[in-house]
């Protein structure tokens, strides 16, 4: 009986997805700036952006492969009202376990420049913050291979 319970529960725990934390810019900024010795990869996306959703598995793979060196943060720019109907289903479908936020800000012009001054606001966009808090912006879809190359290039001695 115990082995049957384990067989039933293991797939459940292995497929747990990230819970979405609704935050304001100040809270997200604090998360982005908190030093923990890891490179931070912060991806900005929306459920209505096909290329954004298509690249989510690459960030999850990075999270699972480099978790001891890299902190992946996924930031949905969807409205809070669609968290349950659109954001969560995308996370479940893609088996996302990386830290996920929903940025609850009405005026993007008040925070886009604070993320990275050269960011135009286009998505998908990914900001990589190295151990010296230097930011590198990528305003395009990224593959897993491109993400790995970025991490290795930043991590060079």
145 domain residue, yes or no = yes
Q: What is the pLDDT of residue 133?
A: 87
3 domain residue, yes or no = no
Residue 36 sits at the vertex; the CA angle it makes with 25 and 30, to the nearest 5 degrees, is 15
**20 touches 96 (CB < 8 A):** no
Q: What is the pLDDT of residue 27?
A: 96
Whole-angstrom Cα distance, residue 36 to residue 25? 20
In tens digits, what is the pLDDT along the chain, a chain of 157 residues?
444 444 444 444 445 567 899 999 999 999 999 888 899 999 999 999 999 999 999 999 999 999 889 999 999 999 988 888 899 999 999 999 999 999 999 898 899 999 999 999 999 999 999 988 899 999 999 999 999 999 999 876 5
Q: At residue 103, what are phi and psi to the nearest 5 degrees?
A: -80, 110
Residue 16 sits at the vertex; the CA angle it makes with 124 and 37, to the nearest 5 degrees, is 60
Q: What is the pTM of this model?
A: 0.86
114 domain residue, yes or no = yes
Q: Could you tell me the residue range of the domain that residue 34 belongs to?
A: 16-154
CATH of the domain at 42: 3.40.30.10
* 112, two tokens: 């886009």
11 domain residue, yes or no = no
How many folded domains does the chain comprise? Answer: 1
Whole-angstrom Cα distance, residue 35 to residue 142? 24
99 domain residue, yes or no = yes
Q: Spell out the residues 6+ positions from residue 45 whose beta carbon is closer than 8 angstroms to its own.
A: 52, 53, 55, 56, 74, 75, 76, 77, 123, 124
50 domain residue, yes or no = yes
6 domain residue, yes or no = no
């Amino acid at each position: 009986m115990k082995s049957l319970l384990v067989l039933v529960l293991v797939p459940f725990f292995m497929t747990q997805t990230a819970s979405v934390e609704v935050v304001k810019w100040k809270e997200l900024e604090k998360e982005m700036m908190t030093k923990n010795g890891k490179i931070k990869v912060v991806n900005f996306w929306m459920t209505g952006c096909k290329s954004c959703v298509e690249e989510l598995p690459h960030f999850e793979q990075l999270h699972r492969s480099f978790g001891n060196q890299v902190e992946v943060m996924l930031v949905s720019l969807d409205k809070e009202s669609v968290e349950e109907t659109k954001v969560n289903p995308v996370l479940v479908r893609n088996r996302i376990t990386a830290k996920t936020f929903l940025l609850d800000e009405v005026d993007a012009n008040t925070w886009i420049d604070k993320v990275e001054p050269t960011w135009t606001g286009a998505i998908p966009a990914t900001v990589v913050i190295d151990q010296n808090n230097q930011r590198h912006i990528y305003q395009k879809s990224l593959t897993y291979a491109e993400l790995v190359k970025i991490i290795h290039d930043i991590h060079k001695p």
